[in-house]
Amino acid sequence: MKALIVEQVAGRNEMKPGEYPDPKAKEGEVLVKIEATALNRADLMQKEGKYPPPKGVTPILGLEMAGTVEKLGSKVKGVSVGDRVCGLLPGGGYAEYSTIRADHVLKIPETFSFEEAAAVPEVYLTAYQAAIWLGKLAKSETILIHAGASGVGTAAIQLVRELRKARIITTTGSGLKCELTASLGSDLCINYNDENFGLSIQDTFGENCVNVIIDFVGSPYWEKNMNVLAMDGRVVYLSFLGGTKVKEMNLSPILRKRLTIMGSTLRNRSDEYKSELVAAFKKDTETLFEKEKLKPIIDSVFDWKDVEAAHDRMKNNLNAGKIILNGM
Amino acid sequence: MKALIVEQVAGRNEMKPGEYPDPKAKEGEVLVKIEATALNRADLMQKEGKYPPPKGVTPILGLEMAGTVEKLGSKVKGVSVGDRVCGLLPGGGYAEYSTIRADHVLKIPETFSFEEAAAVPEVYLTAYQAAIWLGKLAKSETILIHAGASGVGTAAIQLVRELRKARIITTTGSGLKCELTASLGSDLCINYNDENFGLSIQDTFGENCVNVIIDFVGSPYWEKNMNVLAMDGRVVYLSFLGGTKVKEMNLSPILRKRLTIMGSTLRNRSDEYKSELVAAFKKDTETLFEKEKLKPIIDSVFDWKDVEAAHDRMKNNLNAGKIILNGM
């Protein structure tokens, strides 16, 4: 099959199309002809050699895909040849074909294109895991979603709005992005280039008012996060894009507010964990995609030949929502 | 009733006996004649004015007691007049009488004296909450218990030994204390005055081998804790006796190892939380106290008139196990 392979070109890692062995569906797996895939920040890191794939996983980039089931492995239940499906992959999305466990598959609603479906798995499962599973956000609580206009951010806003009816605060880096998060249901949106989010939240909703934080930023936000958290508050870290070193960190809020601070990634979780997460997600979201209550925000769709331009768009933080690559 | 009241004497806060209004058992509560109470570090802090009691709670010190039920409030189930009981208090243990919710009460086994029973509630409920409820220690996992010879430390060793059969590592500050924790079932005991616990653990059991840490120390142990934790490791902070400021904190293990870092105190939890904790604890430990599988380590028993000497003993870290005060 065709696949995009990372090669060194003039001292820079670039993706080039090449030939790669066809994957085969093992027991419990299905073979999918990929019609669209979506970019994730992990792809950029992996391309630079900074985020190697887990043991036993293909070196081909791509953590999610949408396509058509072409073959079934043995003992597959609930998925048929011809089904339009999307799903999370540990790697291998930038290719013509991929295998995936049948219990990791999400069926694509009829109203969704493959491009839209490719934007679903990573962001919605990550946001669901962070806000609902790990953050245990309850009704009438308040959630602070950093990078609110990102793929995971926009998915988190929608999920929280539909599943928890909690108060939603978002931070983003521009007025346009703030408009986007507000239109999705964010009650307060803070442009971090103009305002100190800690003070803005305190001024609007009072001190110690945030029950759950989803953070991608890390050290620059540590202290402000600690300050806005309520008693029994929870922080879920999904990445540390702003850095990992905190100077003069003060531990005392952890005890004084009985905080829980968690780090989580999805990619290197066990198959069983992912199956449980997918099952819980399906049960909770059921018809919400069909009814377009949950609708991925697509930033742009690129042809696979323009993969480097797509990567540059993400690298320069120009996207609001997901960047999609059409199938090879 | 008689009670010990904090007074300023020559610029120092001391406890003096005085008269205090008798407490009255409200709905769901029982009145207990206190026969013994036990010291907690929080008492020392409260005496210094650094740990004020939660809203609505008596200013009398004392977070636990053992005694005899003297009166029942309305709607009390499962507790009778004359029962020998012990339990956790939000305050008021250094007194002749206290009220307590009937569902916060633990029955005293026949083989236990009041002095032994007074040593049970705070340390066993705290250790149970940290290792089992919050730490979610599983069979065949490894737990690191700092301050292993402390009241909570010794209770945690016993509980883990009986309920989880996990590998137990402890740190203490002397060879004698190490002998104590080893005799209780600690598989590796490290004297932190002689050894770097991070290196000792790594040398003995390998890198990234600790699943749960119970820590009372804080900043001096932060980095070493992060280093020894395994994937999906959990840290439960119960106090920060060694300080709260970390000069150069590196957040990256939180994400790389998918850690969960929690702070927890028992005193200011809701009544419902405490009821659930007590019920779960009773169910899990059932006959273990009667069979002396769980047996509080008593350091020393003081007459209430010698309360200041008892406090000095704790302040100077001379105790291994609980310090008990006899009833007034």
Residue A279 clears pLDDT 80, i.e. is over it: yes
B51 touches chain A (CB under 8 A): no
CA distance A91 to chain B (A): 18
In 3D space, the residue among A91, A128, A120 whose CA is nearest the CA of residue A236 turns out to be A128
Cα–Cα distance between A237 and B219 in angstroms, integer? 21
Please name the residue of chain B whose CA is at the shortest distance from the CA of residue A244: B251
Task: Give the DSSP per-residue string, B211-258.
Answer: EEEEESS-GGGHHHHHHHEEEEEEEEE---TT-SEEEEEE-HHHHHTT
pLDDT, one tens digit per residue, over B13-45 is 889 899 999 999 999 999 999 999 999 988 999
Under an 8 A CB cutoff, do A240 and B263 touch?
A: no
- Chain A residues whose beta carbon lies within 8 Å of the beta carbon of residue B251: 218-219, 222, 237, 240, 244-246
Cβ-nearest to A250 among B239, B245, B260: B245
A251 touches chain B (CB under 8 A): yes
pLDDT, one tens digit per residue, over B118-150 is 999 999 999 999 999 999 999 999 999 999 998
Q: Which tokens go with A145?
A: 């979603």
B263 touches chain A (CB under 8 A): yes
Average pLDDT, chain A: 95
Task: Give the DSSP per-residue string, B44-73.
Answer: HHHHTTSSPPPTT--SS--SEEEEEEEEE-
CA distance B234 to chain A (A): 9
Question: Is the C-alpha dihedral spanning A85, A90, A93, A95 positive or negative?
Answer: negative
Q: Which tokens go with A254?
A: 């952890």
Residue A274 clears pLDDT 80, i.e. is over it: yes
215-244 of B, contacting A, C-beta below 8 A: 218-219, 222, 237-240, 244
CA distance A297 to chain B (A): 26
CA distance A155 to chain B (A): 21
Across B292-297, average pLDDT: 93
For tokens 């999918």, what's the residue? Answer: A32
- Kind and range of the H or E run holding B298: strand B298-302
- Chain B residues whose beta carbon lies within 8 Å of the beta carbon of residue A234: none
CA distance B18 to chain A (A): 32
CB pairs under 8 A between A and B: 91
Cα–Cα distance between B31 and B96 in angstroms, integer? 11
Cα–Cα distance between A229 and A231 in angstroms, integer? 7
Under an 8 A CB cutoff, do B251 and A237 touch?
A: yes
pLDDT, one tens digit per residue, over B156-184 is 999 999 999 899 999 999 999 999 999 99
How far is the first Cα of chain B from the last one, in angstroms, to the nearest whole number?
9
CA distance B263 to chain A (A): 4
The CATH code belonging to domain A124-263 is: 3.40.50.720
Among A103-107, A264-268, B140-144, where is mean pLDDT lowest?
A: A264-268
By the 8 A CB rule, do B163 and B138 touch? Answer: no
pLDDT for position B213: 98
Q: Which tokens go with A158?
A: 């929608």
Task: Give the DSSP per-residue string, B10-28.
Answer: TTEEEEEEEE-PPP---TT
- Domain A2-120+296-326 class in CATH: alpha beta
Under an 8 A CB cutoff, do A261 and B244 touch?
A: no
Residue A148 clears pLDDT 90, i.e. is over it: yes
Residue B320 clears pLDDT 80, i.e. is over it: no
Under an 8 A CB cutoff, do B263 and A257 touch?
A: yes
Across A1-13, average pLDDT: 88
Question: Is the C-alpha dihedral spanning A284, A290, A294, A300 positive or negative?
Answer: positive
Q: Which tokens go with B14?
A: 């001391």
Cα A148 versus chain centre, distance: 12
In 3D space, the residue among B252, B254, B208 whose CA is nearest the CA of residue B228 turns out to be B208
Count of beta carbons in the 10 Å neighbourhood of residue B97: 23
Q: What residues does each domain of chain A span? A: 2-120+296-326, 124-263
pLDDT for position A133: 95
Cα–Cα distance between B170 and B161 in angstroms, integer? 13
Q: Which tokens go with B61?
A: 């010190």
pLDDT, one tens digit per residue, over A57-84 is 999 999 999 999 999 999 999 999 999 9
In 3D space, the residue among A201, A191, A211, A195 whose CA is nearest the CA of residue A149 turns out to be A191
- At B220, phi and psi to the nearest 5? -60, -25
What burial class does residue B323 get, using C-beta atoms within 10 Å of its C-beta: 0-12 exposed, 13-18 middle, 19+ buried? Answer: buried
B257 touches chain A (CB under 8 A): yes
Q: Which tokens go with A150?
A: 């990102």
Report ipTM for this prediction: 0.91
% pLDDT > 70, chain A: 100
Cα–Cα distance between A184 and A161 in angstroms, integer? 8
Under an 8 A CB cutoff, do B246 and A244 touch?
A: no
In 3D space, the residue among A224, A218, A235, A232 whose CA is nearest the CA of residue A201 turns out to be A224
- Kind and range of the H or E run holding A143: strand A142-145
B293 touches chain A (CB under 8 A): no
The CA-based dihedral angle spanning residues B86, B87, B89, B91, taken in that order and rounded to the nearest 10 degrees: 20
- Chain B residues whose beta carbon lies within 8 Å of the beta carbon of residue A240: 251-252, 255
